[in-house]
Structure 1
Amino acid sequence: MSEQLRDRGRELAAALAADGVVGLTIAWADNNGIPRSRTVPVSALPQVAVAGVGVTHLFAVFDTNDAIAYGSPGMQNASGDVRLVPQLDRITRLAGQPALAWAPGKQVTADGGPWAFDQRSVLERVVEALAADGTTALVGYEMEFGVFEQATDPEDTELLAAHSGPAYSPHALLPIDGFIASVMRDAEANGLRLGQVHAEYGPAQVELSLAATDPLTAADQQLLARQTILAAAEAHGLRVSFAPLPTLNGAGNGWHVHTSLWRGGENLLAGGPEGPRGTAGAGYVAGLLRDLPALAALTAPSLGSLARQRPGFFAGAFSGFWGVENREAPLRYVPGSALLGEDHANVELKVSDASANPYLALAALLTAGAAGIEENLVPPAPTAEDPGTWKKKQRAAAGVERLPGTQAEQEEALVGNPRIAGVLGDDLLAAFLAVRRADAAWAAEKDTEEVLAAWRWRY
């Protein structure tokens, strides 16, 4: 096997070098959703394909500010190393950075064995478990982000919107037409299938949607899309923020996840205006709804996420309800239709953003939905209204509650849900919670705007 990998590495190295590529960037996402990487010369690819490149094990406990949260099991000190191995079948030459190629990485132990803290492996296990049950999944992302002018003074913290609207208007994109064209061209060249690109609701905001694909590819492509967008912004003298909430006065950036489950070529979520038609689709919705407070601790885990989850902002601020095409619902069912076909049906999770590790988020989401199917859960009737406009007594009577609003409340929800916590395993869960606590401790004496500003460009 090693010699086969080495031979494949030689082939890829020769092909990349012939195209003028000098380096391969191997990327992964940490427990804050922040991409990390190593870049190696393409000439080293034969060796790297087999043995990877060394990285510190402590990346598992880097917090959002790059401080190290020592103390969780296996993370007590700086002694330790793991190997970051590129996924050769995902190597992509970067259209916006033509001297570089890109690949997602998988972290393994020094002897090549499984490493408990590798997030990509968590999603691999969930996908394999679904496949053993004859089930596959499709996942698509909607990625919102802010586009801003580069400040001439590095000390200037004022945000200058690169477009000022109107919302959803073609006029809004005229000032950043070159940037948008580069994103679309580069995305296609990088193998990303785009659904659409448009000016979003907030000033300076843009949304890009990625076509649905298998979960591992979707998570990989979400990271690749970030690199593609950032390179285009740099080329056009712009700056992009993927942060859940770049500023309190702006619109939040949700990275909504659309999912569907399939068996034997049948979409289990197929249905119409009343919701999924079959018991499996209903169970999937019910499973997500049941585990939503714990799930949100992984899909929207940062302090910026919590600040974004405001009623009236299409952010999914409440748990306990779902809706058919209801954009205030945390779970929005998108039905099939005569025009689009029944197979178009899917469920959109609103409580999701760039601070989530995409592999962990999708693993937990699919686990929750699959458990709902297995247990034949039944969801409540869909809600068409916005519970944010209801009085507290009305919400309480309907079982609608605010999602956990602090780091401590999120941790309680996650730890108290063995099904979702168990997706990570004890070691990775401890590391994940360590960085969440470190972030909360750092922010304890700071106001929200200061925290948001510090993390504006981190993702």
Structure 2
Amino acid sequence: MATTERGSAEERVAAIHDAGVERVRVHFTDLIGVSRNKVVPVSMLDEICEDGINFCISAFCVDHAGEIVEGTGLGAEVDFRDANVRPDLSTLAIVPWERATAIAVGDVYFDGDLLSASPRQLLKRAVDELEQRGFRAVAGHELEFFLLRPGPHGSGYEQYAKQPGLVYTLSPSVDTEGVLREMEDAVRAMGLPYVGSNQEYFGSQWEINLRYDDALKAADDAHLFKLAVKEIAAQHGLVATFMGKPIQELGTSGYHLHLSMWDGAGEPAFHDPAAGDGLSEVCRWFIAGQLEHGRGMTAIMAPTINAYKRFLAQAFGPWNVTWGHDNRTVYVRIPRERGTATRIENRAGDGTANAYLASAAALFAGLDGIDRQLDPGDPVSGVSYELEDKPLMPFSLGEALDALEADAYFKEALGAQFVRAFVAMKRSEVARFQSAVTDWELNEYVNVL
């Protein structure tokens, strides 16, 4: 079952006062995964919890370049009015790397109602839908990232630690300045359920793992974890990136989302000891839902231009929409543990995905599989990349957006407001990339043509 309990709101407020906190960062996540916030003095916390704090709704329309994207339905169409964020005190935590500061994640309201396009609200709705069917959703977020050092005079990035061949090693020989140790300590001090860390396959590629929990709390934890990693790196003059493939010569980083269900009696709904493979019918239906909507939810799981290089690399990222037992080349991997640890692992994401949106998408997909009692077919074994009779992943963000818009169930489940805004934001991103002149083009053509 879920393992951690949030302290009560009263306990958390008392803790920040006892620690001498002077200010609170009230955060919300936008559609592209950026954590936006306002800072208020701690003396205003009660007032902010009651009345919220206003910001322009167009913050949901701002792209990676800082420009407001047209056509989202959340900008000029609503006169750039104010939205309102009210902190959820169950997320209140002290920020260890910033003096006298606490942080809380909030819920977004617009015109008096919860904003349906808000990623956190979408996840809450998915969780509620499953609860109506007697299931409690539990999630674990497994995120990989690179730690990079900006090159001189803006000349790109280089690895923080370059030693190759030291996968599953974490010591001063690879963490030469102790930055990873500082991140571990900060994550633990925030109260996030840290369970372990290691270097991944490439130098300066890391994974810090958090324990699973109820789906909303696990997404809150993942959101705060990514924030901690990026901000601590910045304090050291480094850049932590969750991009799928940030350096040409190196490999890719993934975002593996582990999901399980628990029934009303507190038993693991995905486990059936009488089944040959230990998987219940509910689990098989849930897997089938992932496959049914695998292409449709890829734009949410892999929401950047760069993310699709991970699929094309055929390096433990999915190439086709398949499932298998303890197989790292498939879309849905079933780890070998059973009993209370029975779960599915959706391997489509990279770390640029929004934790709330990725969770909501996967849960809505599984929900459809359960409601329609879909059959996932037989699991695949061996290297799934060699199979020619399985549906392929989208191999570009544009193709993934086409798949999202073609998935009628997914569009309805996610809601018209979210789909309109998200697709407009991402279509704009694709168009900006298509019109950009890249270093590759210059290196390929300038001297020879």
**Structure 2 length normalisation: TM-score?**
0.89
More displaced stretch, 304-313 vs 43-52: 304-313
Deviations 1:363-387 (A, max 9, x none): 1211111221222222121111213
Q: Is there any run of 5+ residues in structure 2 with no aligned partner, and where?
A: 1-7, 442-449
Q: 1:425 is matched with which residue?
A: 415
Give the direction of change, closer, same or farther, for the CA distance of 1:299–1:427 in structure 2 (3 Å limit).
same
Distance 1:11 1:336 in 2: 36
**Structure 1 length normalisation: TM-score?**
0.87
Q: 1:166 is matched with which residue?
A: 165
Distance 1:73 1:235 in 2: 36
For the pair 1:348 / 2:345, whether they are aligned, the reply is yes
Identity of matched residues, %: 25
Q: 1:144 is matched with which residue?
A: 144
3-state SS of paired residue (2:334) = strand
Offset of residue 241 of structure 1: 1.2
Distance 1:313 1:100 in 2: 41
Distance 1:436 1:108 in 2: 23
3-state SS of paired residue (2:144) = strand
Q: 2:327 is matched with which residue?
A: 326
Give the direction of change, closer, same or farther, for the CA distance of 1:275–1:16 in structure 2 (3 Å limit).
same
Give the direction of change, closer, same or farther, for the CA distance of 1:277–1:117 in structure 2 (3 Å limit).
closer
Give the direction of change, closer, same or farther, for the CA distance of 1:171–1:195 in structure 2 (3 Å limit).
closer
Give the direction of change, closer, same or farther, for the CA distance of 1:163–1:129 in structure 2 (3 Å limit).
same
The one-letter amino acid of 2:304's match is S
Q: 2:32 is matched with which residue?
A: 32
Q: 2:61 is matched with which residue?
A: 61
Give the direction of change, closer, same or farther, for the CA distance of 1:150–1:290 in structure 2 (3 Å limit).
same
Give the direction of change, closer, same or farther, for the CA distance of 1:449–1:356 in structure 2 (3 Å limit).
farther
For the pair 1:176 / 2:175, whether they are aligned, the reply is yes
Offset of residue 97 of structure 1: 2.0
Native 8 Å contact 1:122 1:423 kept in 2: no
Distance 1:412 1:252 in 2: 24
Native 8 Å contact 1:9 1:49 kept in 2: no
For the pair 1:96 / 2:97, whether they are aligned, the reply is yes
Deviations 1:23-80 (A, max 9, x none): 2112222211222222222122121111111111112222222211112334335531
Native 8 Å contact 1:172 1:199 kept in 2: no
Native 8 Å contact 1:87 1:106 kept in 2: yes
Deviations 1:246-295 (A, max 9, x none): 12322222111000111122222226896453211111111111110012
3-state SS of paired residue (2:106) = strand
More displaced stretch, 404-413 vs 226-235: 226-235
Distance 2:170 2:61 in 1: 44
Q: Is there any run of 5+ residues in structure 1 with no aligned partner, and where?
A: 1-7, 452-459
**How many positions carry a matched residue from both structures?**
430
Native 8 Å contact 2:174 2:203 kept in 1: no
Q: Superposed, which structure 2 residues align to 1:102-121 within 5 Å?
A: 102-110=103-111, 112-121=112-121
For the pair 1:439 / 2:429, whether they are aligned, the reply is yes
The one-letter amino acid of 1:404's match is P
Q: 1:157 is matched with which residue?
A: 156
Native 8 Å contact 2:72 2:425 kept in 1: no
Distance 2:298 2:393 in 1: 8
Offset of residue 235 of structure 1: 4.5
User: Root-mean-square deviation (CA), in Å?
Assistant: 2.5
Distance 2:277 2:99 in 1: 46
Offset of residue 307 of structure 1: 2.1
